[in-house]
Structure 1
Amino acid sequence: MTAEATPVAVPVTVLTGFLGSGKTTLLRRILSEAHGQHIAVIENEYGEIGIDHELIQGVAGAEQIIELANGCICCSVRGDLVRVLGDLQGERGRLGLDRVVIETTGLADPGPVMRTLARQGPLHGHYRLDAVITVVDAKHGERTLDEFAEAQAQVGFADRLLLSKTDLVDGEVTARLTTRLAGMNPYAPIRPVHFGATPIAELFDVPAPPTGFRRVPVHPRHGDRIGSFAFRATRPFDLARLDDFLASMVELYGADMLRYKGVLDVEGREERLIFQGVQTLTDVAWGARWQDDESRKSALVFIGRDLPHALFERGLEGCLLVATCATTLQPMLAEGAT
């Protein structure tokens, strides 16, 4: 008698961006391209533009699932995302579902969707967050970032930033906006996208950088509430002290800690600790072993809204090992990394 294989969690891509940024154009490309994958595209019915009148015929007060010729599934959603994803999970075998793309409304930040996927609930184990893709309109992006906190949050949550409409502005405007975005979110690579023409492979299965961030953080522009900072260390962390400190920071500032992650050297462990979180939800796991010829260093990055950088840096510095001592595993970090 053979045991049944545990189903692999379906990767979920969250597609976000402010009103008119070009999300729908990108979705049309995903829906029409012969990529060989069965993708469920979930669109919030209150979004500024439907996927396309020919692709989804909205029915007021109800969800609709439409299977397309290339194997994609379109869902028009109003209401409980957990229930909709649960319905798709029930049909996973019949649909041959490979992944899910969720489009958030242009006036919302993707935090609630990400928390839904991260929580220990009915979706746990069935879905996993792959990446947050944020589309930024190069022509109107700076003004939008100036006027709307939601637009700044969309940038802060992103794993990848796509610049649309770069053909409508000169190089100086694009460069200025790119610098501003890099100051807000050093974790996300920034790439131009012209009428949704970006390789699908660059949107899916987004790898995490080995150090936790992709570029050296720069200071955000004055007036931007979303910013980032990095912390590096060559001494190992005391796990008990680190757990206490991070738990207190999450309690105090969790709502404004949009994304944070790191690769940590912990005293007494041969494996590196992989640490990541979205606002008040934290996930940790023991990663690959440190190699004998490898320099054991820790690196963390925090992206958030008005976070007290100096307080975080002093606290993290205080969690580093000064002298050899025993450590006690504490709940938030230790239990999740067993």
Structure 2
Amino acid sequence: MADAAPQIPVTVLTGYLGSGKTTLLNRILSETHGKRFAVIVNEFGEVGIDNDLIVNADEEIFEMNNGCICCTVRGDLIRIIAGLMRRSRGFDGIVVETTGLADPAPVAQTFFVDEDVRRKTKLDAIVTVADAKHLLDQIDRTPEAQEQLAFADVVLLNKVDLVDKEGLVTIERRIRKINPYAVIHRTERCSLALDQVLGRDAFNLDRILEVEPGFLTEEHDHEHDDSIASLSLVADRPMNPETFIPWINDVAQRYGTDILRMKGIIALANDDRRFVVQGVHMLIEGGSQRAWKNDEARQTRLVIIGRDLPRDVLKHDFEACCA
């Protein structure tokens, strides 16, 4: 029996209007890296212009118009990816650039909910480009700017030459309050090694924890002036699976519209394997993966990033799941 074809990694590129997404996209398409990428551009409005701004892209660009990527155009995304998979000449990766006003969630959800897309591709990372000069004002004024940061696996804090060092520290602290685990790179004109953006396998929580075992356990100060914030739940006692599994599913259903991202590694009672949970809005998946190592603390770590979440209720109910 022939081996299954390897899954093509997909990078979702997001960021608020004017942050520098097209600059980064041009670098991906024009630099000498020996790889071939397909690019799917989502335009806001009936007439697309991004295609005309992107270099050397005669056959790699696929436009989706008719507004932000959401349920109404998810079918377009699935259709385009299906068409790419039928091409005789393969791709090393796919980059989906969302409009600056988009919520990245529906894009990520596509790779959860469509079985054919899920079999042939894998979500590699959500990369958010942020304009250092205007980010704090954007966070205060627009929920989209907060959401794009909340979903990110990688943040390019761009245009850092326009902000002093003290200002950059303040901006990064604000980003960390929204999203404690994203990797932040300071850039000018999105200039950084492309391997810091592509091929990160950053949506693979188990891989992240192999590299950074403590990334879910760092303590973060939480203020309550932002509607979007992260909640870190940690327990040294194992979770009762008969309690925890129904609870986490109920959380996704009850608060899913306000949950942007969920990541966790769970120590279940009477199970020698680590149980990994990932979620986007109401879509949640989990499963046992590798065995706990002998020198590894069997600790449950769960991070929920969302909007106006009932923190005390979630903390109380999480602790009630301990065996």
Normalising by structure 2, we get a TM-score of 0.88
- Inter-partner Cα distance in structure 2 for 1:214 and 1:55: 39
Give the one of 103, 118, 139 matched to 2:133. 139
Inter-CA distance 99–134: structure 2 relative to 1 (3 Å threshold): same
Question: More deviation in 184-193 or 76-85?
Answer: 76-85
Q: If you compute each CA radius of gyration, which structure gives the higher value, 1 or 2?
A: 1
Inter-CA distance 45–267: structure 2 relative to 1 (3 Å threshold): same
Give the one of 62, 81, 85 matched to 1:85. 81
CA contact 2:132–2:159 (8 Å) conserved in 1: yes
- Inter-partner Cα distance in structure 2 for 1:17 and 1:54: 17
Matches within 5 A, 1:40-189: 40-46=38-44, 50-53=50-53, 55=55, 66-67=58-59, 73-78=60-65, 79=73, 80-91=76-87, 94-189=88-183
CA contact 2:267–2:299 (8 Å) conserved in 1: yes
CA contact 1:131–1:159 (8 Å) conserved in 2: yes
Corresponding residue for residue 261 of structure 2: 259
How far residue 85 of structure 1 moved from its aligned partner, in angstroms, is: 0.9
CA contact 2:25–2:54 (8 Å) conserved in 1: no
How far residue 222 of structure 1 moved from its aligned partner, in angstroms, is: 4.3
- Inter-partner Cα distance in structure 2 for 1:284 and 1:129: 16
CA deviations 1:177-219 (Å, max 9, x no partner) are 1110000000102111211211111112324431483673534
CA contact 1:15–1:103 (8 Å) conserved in 2: yes
1:31 aligns with 2:33: no
Give the helix-richer structure, 1 or 2: 2
| AA in 1 matched with 2:62 | C
Inter-CA distance 187–95: structure 2 relative to 1 (3 Å threshold): same
- Inter-partner Cα distance in structure 2 for 1:215 and 1:154: 23
- Inter-partner Cα distance in structure 1 for 2:214 and 2:18: 31
CA deviations 1:150-184 (Å, max 9, x no partner) are 11110110001111111011122211111100000
Runs of 5+ in structure 1 lacking a partner?
57-64, 68-72, 322-338
Give the one of 186, 191, 204 matched to 1:192. 186
Runs of 5+ in structure 2 lacking a partner?
66-72
How far residue 54 of structure 1 moved from its aligned partner, in angstroms, is: 6.3
CA contact 1:77–1:84 (8 Å) conserved in 2: no
CA deviations 1:95-149 (Å, max 9, x no partner) are 2211111000001111111111111433121111111000110001111111111
Inter-CA distance 31–217: structure 2 relative to 1 (3 Å threshold): farther
Inter-CA distance 257–212: structure 2 relative to 1 (3 Å threshold): farther
CA contact 1:187–1:212 (8 Å) conserved in 2: no
- Inter-partner Cα distance in structure 1 for 2:51 and 2:64: 12
- Inter-partner Cα distance in structure 2 for 1:217 and 1:306: 20
How far residue 308 of structure 1 moved from its aligned partner, in angstroms, is: 1.2
- Inter-partner Cα distance in structure 2 for 1:45 and 1:104: 7
Normalising by structure 1, we get a TM-score of 0.85
- Inter-partner Cα distance in structure 2 for 1:253 and 1:107: 23
How far residue 13 of structure 1 moved from its aligned partner, in angstroms, is: 0.6
How many pairs does the alignment contain? 304
Inter-CA distance 54–283: structure 2 relative to 1 (3 Å threshold): closer
Q: Percent identity?
A: 38
